Amino acid sequence: MMQRQSFLASQQSLLLLLARVLLVALFLKSGLPKLLNFSGTMAYMGSVGAPLPAVAAAIAVFMEVPVAIALLVGFRTRPLALLLAIYTIGTGLIGHAFWTMTGAEQANNMIHFYKNIAIAGGFLALCAAGAGRFSLDRD
């Protein structure tokens, strides 16, 4: 007896494509300006206490532009999604250390920290599920 897939299950590849687009949009929006103003990115990295600001800026640009584009098109989705999950948790720990703050600054950074955690969860889901058929991976 043949079981019928639910509508959502039958749309899995489309939903995975949408997930990739939505997750990557944030990284491209923030990564392209970092690339175009690399000296400003290095200065910012220094201001937030990132170790080796030039290296930190290069890592940020690499993760937020070429790695994000690769994930968008579904190339090496599983390992890159895992890498972006780790990167996103790391940027939350470095850039939104709310536990060192007080008042409104603490509340704002706590929200951003937990958004990073949620985004990392999305990347981990992509790591587990793969990119779907609308991708270069076709898995």
| Tokens coding 86 | 């780790």
The pLDDT score that the predictor gives to residue 89 is: 97
Q: Checking phi first, is residue 4 left (phi over 0); if not, alpha (psi -120 to 50) or beta? A: beta
Rounded to the nearest integer, the mean pLDDT of the chain is 95
The pLDDT score that the predictor gives to residue 2 is: 59
Q: Write down the H helix ranges in the chain.
A: 7-10, 12-36, 38-47, 53-62, 68-72, 77-95, 103-129
| Tokens coding 81 | 């999604």
The pLDDT score that the predictor gives to residue 18 is: 97
| Tokens coding 12 | 């899995």
- pLDDT above 80 (res 1): no
| Tokens coding 24 | 């990557």
Instruction: Tell me what percent of the residues of the chain surpass a pLDDT of 90.
Output: 86
Dihedral (CA of 81, 52, 26, 90) sign: positive
Domain segments of the chain as ranges: 7-129
- pLDDT, one tens digit per residue, over 60-119 is 999 999 999 999 999 999 999 999 999 999 999 988 999 999 999 999 999 999 999 999
The pLDDT score that the predictor gives to residue 50 is: 83
Asked whether the beta carbons of 122 and 19 are under 8 A apart, the reply is yes
